[in-house]
Amino acid sequence: MHFRVLAVASLIALAGCSLQADPPGDAPSGVAVAPGDGRVTVTWTQEPDLTYWIFYQVGSSVVPAAPGATPIRDAVSPHVVANLANGVQYAFVMNATHDDSSAGPSSPVFTQTPRLAGADWTSGTALGATNLNGIAFSGSRLVAVGDSAAIFTGDHNYTSTNPPGVTAWLPPTSLPAGFTANLSAVTYTSQFVALGINGSILTSSDGLTWILAADAVPGAGMNGIVFGGLYVAVGDGGSIFTSLDLVTWAQATSTTLNDLYSVSFLNGGFVATGASGTLLTSADGVTWTARVSNTANALRGAAFRATPTALYVVVGDAGTVVTSTDATNWTATALAGAPNLRGVTSGGALGTRFLAVGLGGAVVFSDDGASWSPPSVSPGPAGLARVLFAPAMYVAVGAAGANAVSK
């Protein structure tokens, strides 16, 4: 009986062992690690029935499952490793398991250093032939608007390469019948709000189905709109209108007759820019103060960063850059090459980098507002009208359906 029990126990043990799969015989192949803004993207040749592991840590070396190495299980190519520090080198290594097997051989160790976006650009296929004049981001979805009621909507997708930055650009599923107005700007609050040059207002909860607001902005040549507790729209002849509900519009007290090209809500206040160096600020969107911009060139866009030091940047024609630490006193400089700049934003993992775009595919970026650099890979020759920073990447749109991304 004793020998029979031992024999049965041995058979059970052998049966249990036979259920464990053999480990993969080869290391993951085709592994590559591409740097991004506060992240890297790891790609490899994905084989079926394998569970892939990524291990990483600061430095030049890493060993799978070793103390100090951060593990990522069930990784699927491409895999984004986020929340990394820019300017810090990390080491990455991969292996794989088969079902519940032990790990197979490890890949070589790859090192990579995350860095701020803005230097390398990729252009997407043109979105039609009409000019795109504005872009907005909801936190997950991008909407670009332009002439002849052009609207394109795309879900943010960092790893997408075609089209870059979005899963797909889609036209509207529904527009008001007969609506053909040129759209000059778009903003996002709890909904997308697009502004027509003729003052018309379109709204959409999803960027695909659009309805026409009951009352248009009662001004002509409307060029910009933003929300900061209330909607503020600006246009030609120094016109400024405000609304709490997109239904009733009131004309604000303006201090200029010059055309206004943009309005931004920055650091709890409004900044409007326009022709002949016009620069206005307002705490509430209703009462405006003209500021001395120290330039006669047209100003086209504004941005703000809070860290490492508070700084406003306004850009415009002939390479004009106007900066301020308090939105009251402004200093103007001119960039080499005098690019005609049309839009500017702040971005990067900590929101510290300014990036401006303009005519002829102009792109310049700065980490201090004073020294500006061109990209190492440009987005091409198409004019760019507006730019924003979505998670870990800049997205710009412009002439003839131009769209470009820098990661």
Nearest CA-CA partner of 226 in 2, 388, 51: 388
Q: Which residues pair with 154 in a beta bridge?
A: 142
pLDDT value of position 3:
37
Using an 8 Å Cβ cutoff, are 84 and 114 in contact? yes
- How far is the C-alpha of 297 from the C-alpha of 287, rounded, in Å? 24
Burial (Cβ within 10 Å: 0-12, 13-18, ≥19) of residue 407: buried
> How far, in Å, CA of 299 to CA of 138, rounded?
26
**Residues 24, 22: Cα–Cα separation, whole Å:** 7
- Is the CB of residue 133 less than 8 Å from the CB of residue 149? no
Domain locations in the chain?
22-112, 121-406
3-state secondary structure of 18: helix
CATH class name, domain 121-406: mainly beta
Buried b (16+ CB within 10 A) or exposed e, 220-235: eebbbbbbbebbbbbb
CATH 2.60.40.1930 fits domain 22-112: no
Q: Note whether 22-112 and 121-406 share their fold.
A: no
Torsion angle defined by CA atoms of residues 366, 371, 377 and 378, in that order, rounded to the nearest 10 degrees: 80
Residues contacting 316, CB < 8 A, separation 6+: 273, 277, 295, 297, 298, 299, 300, 301, 322, 340, 341
Give me the pLDDT at residue 19, please.
60
What is the distance between the alpha carbons of residues 347 and 393, in angstroms, rounded to a whole number?
8
| Digitized pLDDT (tens) for each residue of the chain, 407 residues in all | 443 433 334 433 433 444 678 999 999 999 999 999 999 999 999 999 999 999 999 999 999 999 999 999 999 999 999 999 999 999 999 999 999 899 999 999 999 999 999 999 999 999 999 999 999 999 999 999 999 999 999 999 999 999 999 999 999 999 999 999 999 999 999 999 999 999 999 999 999 999 999 889 998 899 999 999 999 999 999 999 999 999 999 999 889 999 999 999 999 999 999 999 999 999 999 999 999 999 999 999 999 999 999 999 999 999 999 999 999 999 999 999 999 999 999 999 889 999 999 999 999 999 999 999 999 999 999 999 999 999 999 999 999 999 999 99
Whether the CB-CB separation of 39 and 80 falls below 8 Å is answered with: yes
- Looking at the DSSP bridge assignments, the partners of residue 79 are 42
